[in-house]
Structure 1
Amino acid sequence: MFILSILTLCLAALISALPQLGGLLPGSDPEVTLDYGTFRGNRAFSGVSSFLGMPFAKAGRLENPTLISAADKLSGIQDAANYGKACPQQELIALNQELGGLLGAVEQVAFAPVSQQGEDCLTINVQIPEGGGFELGSSASLGSEATAVQGLIYQGARLVQRSVEMGQPIVFVSANYRVNAFGGLASQEITDAGVSNLHLKDQRTAMEWIQNYIEIFGGDKSRVTLFGESAGSMSIATHMVLNDGNPDGLFHAAIMASGGIGKFRDYHHKQPTFDFMASCTGCGTGDKLGCLRSVDYNKFYNCVQQIPNFFTYSSTSVPWYPRPDGKYLVDSPHRLLREGKVANIPYIIGDMKDEGTLFSVVPQLNITDDADFQSFWKQNFFQDLTPEQIQAFTSLYSQDPADGSPYDTGDANAIGPQCKRVASSVGDYTFEAGRRDLLNYTYALRQGSQKTYTYQQQQSLYLLSQLPGGLLANLTNLPVLGSFHVSDVVLNSFGLVPAALSKNTLNLMSTYIAFVNSQDPNNHGLEGLPEWPTWDPEGKAMFKYQESGPVIIKDDYREEQMEFVNRNADTYVY
C-alpha cells in the first residue's frame, strides 16, 4: 500500500506477505542485505521488524529521480533504525496565525512542524511481521504534500500487527517524495527540460524499488496495493491513468482515501508560480531553471513559505497538483479517464463526511454574502470563466446553513454566514466529485467487471476526548469541523486511536487488510459488520464507517451538484 500527500497527504503501498520470509538475519536488531547495501533496522514494535530511511533513488534539485542500484553500493552496515529526513515542507502554522485557537488542536496532531528536513530525502521504509509483510507510503512529514509525524502518524507497525492478528500478514512500505516547489513546479521551462511532475515520478520510482527488492523482505511483488490519503489519494488516481492506464506491473489494487480523479489545467496555468520562485530567489533573468537548481537551499525554501497554502483564502486551490505536460501526464486525468485510459484494477475509494470544513475556516472570514461566494470561486479556481458560468456552479449550493457542512447539524456550527456553504462546495468539488467520476466511468467502461467499493466515514469527536493523556481532548471543541478531512488517517487508519477504543479504527484497519490480501474488504473475520457490496450506478451501495457500527447507505447525496461538475468537467477545471 502507498501513502501519498498533496494537500495533507499520505501515499503508501500495502503488499501481501509471502508464505515464508527470507533474507533477514536473526538477532536483536534485524538486518537485511540488498545489492546496494546492508541495513540494520529495529524491533521497537512487538512482532514487527522495521527498516527505515533506506535510500531508494537519487535526484538533484528539480531533476528527475534515478532508481538506486548495485552500482550505488554503500559500504558497511547502514543504520535503518530511524526515519530519514522529510522532504522540504511548506509549513502551515507560521502562515496561519489567524486560525488562533480554533484549529490549534488539529494543527498539533495533524500538521505539526517537521524538524528533520532536507533535499536528500528520497528514502523508503519497510515494516514487516517477523515472518512476512506489506506496504509503501510517505513517512517523515505531515502537513504540506508529504507529511507524517515520525513514529506516530503514517506509522505502519500497527497495521502489520493487526494483519498478523487476522492471520493475513502484510508488508507495509512508505516512501518520501518531493512536494511543493521541490516536486510540483510547473512551467514552460520545467516542461522543456522534461522535469515536470517530479512528485509523481518519485512515487513511481518507489514502486520500481518495491518490484526490485520487496521479495527479500517477504513481500509478494505481484500483490501490491497502493494506499493514499488526500494528495496521496489523488496521486494514486493519477497513476491509474498514466501510461495509457497500464500499471506496468507496479501495482495491482488501490485504496484511495479523500481524493479522486482531478480536473487539472496544464502547466501554463502555474507559470506565475514558477516566475515568482525565480524572482524571489534572484533567478529572474537568464537561465532561470539552472539558477533555481543551484541557488542556496535556505533562499529557495524561504520563498516556498511565501506561497499561499490550503489554510489560507486560496483553500484547496494550491499550485502543486499534477499538471498535464503533454508527455508524462499527457492530459488532465479526467480526460484520460473518459478516453478509457485507466488501470483495470480493484479499488476502494471513499471520503470523510465533511471533507471541506478544514479548508473553509479561513476563506469564510472574507465571505459574507453571495457576491463574496462567487468571487471566492472566481479568484481561486475558475479565473477564466464568465460570471454566468460561475453562478451556474455556485447557485447549486444553498445559502441555508442547514444544508451545509458539517452536514446534519441544522443551523449549528455556522461560524460565518457563508461558512457551511463554502465547506460543502469545496468538499464536493475537490474530493467528492472526483470520487464519483472515477466510479461512474470505470463501471461504464468495464460493465461492472472491475471490482470497486466506496465508503464514507463519520468521526466521533467525543470519543477522542476520552483517550488517555488528553492528547486529543481539545478536538471536542471543534464541532465546526465535523467529520473532517485527514482525521481518518491521523486517528484511525494507523491505529493512533487504539482499536480497543474505536470501532472505526478496528473496522478500517481490518477491511483494508482484507482487501489487500483478497481484493475483497468483506474477508475481515469480524462479527456484526454488514456485507459491503461492490458499487454500481443503480444500487450505489456505500459502506459507512461510524462508531455506532457501520451501515450501508446510498451514495446519492448532492447528486445534482456533483453531476453538474462532472458533466461539465472541461469547463470547471483548475
Structure 2
Amino acid sequence: MANRLSASIIAVLLALSAVYLQQPLNTFLNPPPTVVDLTQDITYIGSLHSATIEHFRNIFYAEEPTGYRRFAPPVPTKPPKGSVIDATKPGAWCPQGTGDILPFTSRVANISENCLSLRIARSKGTSRSDAAKLPVVVWIHGGGHALGSASDILYEPDGLVRQAAADGRPLIYVGINYRLGLFGFATSKAMIERKETNAGLRDQRAALEWVRNNIKAFGGDPNRVTVVGQSVGASDLGLQLMAFGGAQDVPFQQAMMMSGGPGLNFNSPPDQVASNTADIAQQLGCVKNGDDQGLQALECLREAPFELLTNLTVAASRAARPPFGEGYFYPTIDNDFIQARPSQLMRAGKFVKEIPLIASWVTNDGAWYAPLTTSTDEEVLGSFGLWLTSLSESTKEELLQLYPLEDFERMVRPEHDGPISPQYYRAAQMNRDIWFTCPVLDFTWQYVRNGGAKASQVRLYEYNETRYTPVFRAMGVPMWRVAHLSDIPYLFNNDHLEGGADNSDAHLSLAQRFSRAVIDYIHSEPLEGRNSGAGPWTPAFPEDVSQQGSLPSDVPSTISIQIFGGPHGSSSVTVRKEVEERDLTESEKAVYWEKLFSRCEFINGQQMRDEAGV
C-alpha cells in the first residue's frame, strides 16, 4: 500500500512538473487546481480562468471510438489506478466540417474521432467534502447532429458559474461531446441487428453515467443533476427520457429543453438515414453484389480512413442540407434505444417519469430556415420541404390556411430589412412552429397528460430578446431578429459575447436575471420570480394529473408561458383557447397572435405526425 501511494505521489509530481514547464512563472506561485478521486486513485490537473473559475477539460468518458469501435456503443474509460490526467487544455471536436460557422461561435479546426470527452467548470476552491455536494448542470449542445462541441466559445460557462457562486448557490458545470453525422447516427440493417445505432445518443448516456459515477470527486452531487439541451440537444434529451421505452432510469433528476423536443426528430423510421449511409458506402466502394445493408459494407466503412470518411460525409450532407448539413444523419428507430416514433412513445407514456421539466422556444426560432427570397406559397412550403418530404397536398394546403399571408404583412420593415416579402416571415413562423414550438408543446403536454410529472413540475418560456442584432445586421440578415440560439448567451450570462454582439448593460442585466432563474431551478428552488424580474413562473398547464387521474384532450386548452424580454417586458402570460382578443393585455395579445392552439393542434395532430414520421 505504501509503495503504491508513493508511486501515485511521484506520478502527480511529475505531471505537475510537466504542466509547470509549459506555463509562465506565475504558475509556480499559483499552482493549478487539482482534484484527487480517492475512490479510484485518479488525479485531475486543471487550469484557473479569470482568477475565480477552475476548468478541467478533455476528460474522456469513453475509449477512442475507432476501428471496430467506430459506430459501436461507447466503451467507458477505466484509467489505471494512480493515473494523472492533464485536463488543462481543450480536446478535439468530434468529426464535422471545419471552418467558420457564425461570427459569435468558434472556428472549427481540431477534429478527431478521439473526442468523447467532457469539460468541467466550478468555482475556485470548491471542496470535495460531503458538505459540498453541489448541484450539477450538464450541457448537451445543438448543431443539427452535424456540428458543435462543448468547447465552443458560445457555451463558455464562466458567467453562469460565477453568478451562482456570487449568489451563494454554487454549482458544478459539465459540458459533453458526442459523435455527430455519420459517425454518430449511421444506420443499416447490419447495424440495427448488432445494436450499433444511435451512437451519439449512447455517447450522451455514457457521459451522463460518467457524471453520476465520478462527479462527487469534483464536489458535485450525483443525485442533483439537471441536464440542459439546446436545439437537437433538447430533442435528444427528450429521447433520453424515452430511451428503451422508458424502461431504464436516467442518470439525472431534472431537464431543461431549449428550442427543441422529440417531435423535431422528423422521419424517425431508419429508411432515409440508411439510404444516406448506403450512399457513402457506395462512394467508398464498400458495396459488393448490391448489398449496402450488410456486415461487409459495415466493416468496410469501419476501415475507411478518418479524413476521407469525414470529407465525403460533410460534402454529401451539406449538398443535401445546405449550408451545414443538419438533419442528414440523425436519431432513428432501431428497436433498442429508440423503439418507436417519438410521438407514439409519448402518447403511450413510455418515458421515464418524475423528471421536472422546463421547455422553451425563442420568438423567431425559424428565421434562418426560410430563404430570404421567399415570395410565393410554393416557396413557403419548400422552406421545409428538404426535411418533410412526405407531406400530402391536403396537409400543405391546411398549413397555408393556418398561416394566412395577411397575418405577416405587419412584420415587414423595409427601412430595416430591405425588400423582404411577408411570405418570408410566414415561412419563418411556420418553420418555427414545425421545428420547435409545437414539438415543445406536444412533449410537455403529453408528459403531464400521460403521467410523466405533475403539472406543477412543468414550465415553459419564450425568449424574445437577442444580443445578435448588430451581428445579424453586419451579416446582412437583420430580418432574423430573435433567431435560433438567442437565449444561449443569457443562460451562460456571457458578458463578452464575440463577433460584435451586443454586450450593453441592458442585455447583461437581463442575462443576469435569466441565469439566476435557471440557477434557482438547478438548485430545485421555487421559481417565484425573485431573480428573474418577471414575477412568479407559472406552471405551463393548470390541470393536475394527480387529482384528475388523466387529462381528457390530446391538446391543452390553457397555456402559461414565461416571457423573457421583448417590447412588453418580462412576465408570465396565460392564454386560453377560447378567449376574446379585446379582453387581453398587450403581452397576452402578443402570444395570442401566435395562434398556438389552432396551429399546434394541427401540426401535432395524427395526420401531420404520420406524414412527418415524428
TM-score normalised to the size of structure 1? 0.82
Which residue identity does 1:348 align to in structure 2? I
1:370 aligned residue:
377
2:602 is equivalent to residue 564 of structure 1: yes
Deviation, structure 1 residue 410: 9.5
Which residue identity does 2:220 align to in structure 1? G
- Write the distance in 2 (CA, Å) between the matches of 1:62 and 1:376: 32
Match runs of 1:394-543 below 5 Å: 394-400=400-406, 402=408, 413=417, 415-416=420-421, 418-446=423-451, 448-449=454-455, 451-461=457-467, 465=470, 472=471, 474=473, 478-490=477-489, 492-496=491-495, 497=497, 500-502=505-507, 503-518=509-524, 520-522=526-528, 525-526=530-531, 528-536=533-541, 537-543=556-562
Which residue identity does 1:107 align to in structure 2? L
- Confirm or deny: 8 A CA contact 2:160 2:515 kept in the other structure: yes
2:572 aligned residue:
552
- Confirm or deny: 8 A CA contact 1:266 1:324 kept in the other structure: yes
More deviation in 41-50 or 555-564? 555-564
Paired residue secondary structure (1:223)? strand
- Write the distance in 2 (CA, Å) between the matches of 1:216 and 1:313: 43
Deviation, structure 1 residue 540: 1.5
Paired residue secondary structure (2:51)? coil
Match runs of 1:226-245 below 5 Å: 226-245=227-246
Paired residue secondary structure (1:380)? coil
Question: In structure 2, do the counterparts of structure 1 residues 267 and 528 end up closer, same or farther at CA, with 3 Å as the change threshold?
Answer: closer
- Confirm or deny: 8 A CA contact 1:123 1:176 kept in the other structure: yes
- Write the distance in 2 (CA, Å) between the matches of 1:347 and 1:473: 31
2:204 aligned residue:
203
- Write the distance in 2 (CA, Å) between the matches of 1:546 and 1:408: 21
| CA deviation profile, 1:342-397 (whole Å, cap 9, x unmatched) | 23211110111001111223xx54x54223444555x4234334323332334322
2:79 is equivalent to residue 79 of structure 1: no
- Write the distance in 2 (CA, Å) between the matches of 1:258 and 1:224: 20
- Confirm or deny: 8 A CA contact 1:90 1:180 kept in the other structure: no
Match runs of 1:289-368 below 5 Å: 289-309=298-318, 312=321, 318-343=327-352, 344-361=354-371, 364-365=372-373, 367-368=374-375
Paired residue secondary structure (2:523)? helix
Question: In structure 2, do the counterparts of structure 1 residues 551 and 33 end up closer, same or farther at CA, with 3 Å as the change threshold?
Answer: same
Question: In structure 2, do the counterparts of structure 1 residues 226 and 475 end up closer, same or farther at CA, with 3 Å as the change threshold?
Answer: farther
- Confirm or deny: 8 A CA contact 1:160 1:172 kept in the other structure: yes
- Write the distance in 2 (CA, Å) between the matches of 1:418 and 1:520: 42
How many residues get paired? 519
Paired residue secondary structure (1:203)? helix
- Confirm or deny: 8 A CA contact 1:166 1:525 kept in the other structure: no
Question: In structure 2, do the counterparts of structure 1 residues 138 and 529 end up closer, same or farther at CA, with 3 Å as the change threshold?
Answer: closer
Deviation, structure 1 residue 288: 1.0
| CA deviation profile, 1:92-149 (whole Å, cap 9, x unmatched) | 86xxxxxxxxxxxx72213x4311110000011111122255332357x978645248
Question: In structure 2, do the counterparts of structure 1 residues 229 and 127 end up closer, same or farther at CA, with 3 Å as the change threshold?
Answer: same
More deviation in 257-266 or 439-448? 439-448
- Confirm or deny: 8 A CA contact 1:92 1:309 kept in the other structure: no
- Write the distance in 1 (CA, Å) between the matches of 2:203 and 2:532: 40
Which residue identity does 2:281 align to in structure 1? A
Deviation, structure 1 residue 66: 1.0
- Confirm or deny: 8 A CA contact 1:402 1:409 kept in the other structure: no
- Write the distance in 1 (CA, Å) between the matches of 2:383 and 2:329: 19
- Write the distance in 2 (CA, Å) between the matches of 1:324 and 1:82: 37
| CA deviation profile, 1:29-87 (whole Å, cap 9, x unmatched) | 11123427422001113322211101110223212101112xx4276532211111110
- Confirm or deny: 8 A CA contact 2:158 2:494 kept in the other structure: no
- Write the distance in 1 (CA, Å) between the matches of 2:277 and 2:532: 54
- Write the distance in 1 (CA, Å) between the matches of 2:108 and 2:475: 25
Question: In structure 2, do the counterparts of structure 1 residues 150 and 440 end up closer, same or farther at CA, with 3 Å as the change threshold?
Answer: closer
1:100 aligned residue:
none
- Confirm or deny: 8 A CA contact 1:310 1:318 kept in the other structure: no
- Write the distance in 2 (CA, Å) between the matches of 1:562 and 1:247: 30
Paired residue secondary structure (1:325)? coil
| CA deviation profile, 1:493-538 (whole Å, cap 9, x unmatched) | 341456954233112211111001015333x743843111111145
- Write the distance in 1 (CA, Å) between the matches of 2:60 and 2:610: 40
- Write the distance in 1 (CA, Å) between the matches of 2:326 and 2:306: 26
Question: In structure 2, do the counterparts of structure 1 residues 325 and 512 end up closer, same or farther at CA, with 3 Å as the change threshold?
Answer: same
- Confirm or deny: 8 A CA contact 1:92 1:143 kept in the other structure: no
Paired residue secondary structure (1:570)? helix
- Write the distance in 2 (CA, Å) between the matches of 1:551 and 1:273: 45
Give the alignment's Cα RMSD to 1 decimal.
3.1
2:187 aligned residue:
186
Deviation, structure 1 residue 477: 5.4
1:253 aligned residue:
254
1:108 aligned residue:
103
Deviation, structure 1 residue 203: 0.1
Deviation, structure 1 residue 408: 8.5
Question: In structure 2, do the counterparts of structure 1 residues 507 and 280 end up closer, same or farther at CA, with 3 Å as the change threshold?
Answer: farther
- Confirm or deny: 8 A CA contact 1:460 1:547 kept in the other structure: no
User: Which of the numbers 267, 284, 287 marks the counterpart of 2:287?
Assistant: 284
Question: In structure 2, do the counterparts of structure 1 residues 409 and 532 end up closer, same or farther at CA, with 3 Å as the change threshold?
Answer: farther
Deviation, structure 1 residue 421: 2.0
Which runs of 5 or more residues in structure 2 are unaligned?
1-28, 127-131, 498-502, 542-555, 576-591
- Write the distance in 1 (CA, Å) between the matches of 2:479 and 2:319: 17
- Confirm or deny: 8 A CA contact 2:145 2:327 kept in the other structure: no
Deviation, structure 1 residue 28: 2.1
- Confirm or deny: 8 A CA contact 1:374 1:391 kept in the other structure: no
Paired residue secondary structure (1:513)? helix
Paired residue secondary structure (2:405)? coil
Question: In structure 2, do the counterparts of structure 1 residues 490 and 372 end up closer, same or farther at CA, with 3 Å as the change threshold?
Answer: same
Which runs of 5 or more residues in structure 1 are unaligned?
1-25, 94-105, 466-471
- Write the distance in 1 (CA, Å) between the matches of 2:99 and 2:143: 10
Paired residue secondary structure (2:139)? coil
- Write the distance in 2 (CA, Å) between the matches of 1:315 and 1:120: 22
- Confirm or deny: 8 A CA contact 2:242 2:345 kept in the other structure: yes
Larger RCO (alpha carbons 8 Å, 6+ apart):
1
Paired residue secondary structure (1:306)? helix
Which residue identity does 2:599 align to in structure 1? Q
1:55 aligned residue:
60
Whichever of the two has the greater Rg, that structure is: 2
Paired residue secondary structure (1:243)? helix
1:41 aligned residue:
46
- Confirm or deny: 8 A CA contact 2:144 2:232 kept in the other structure: no
2:578 aligned residue:
none
Deviation, structure 1 residue 308: 3.5
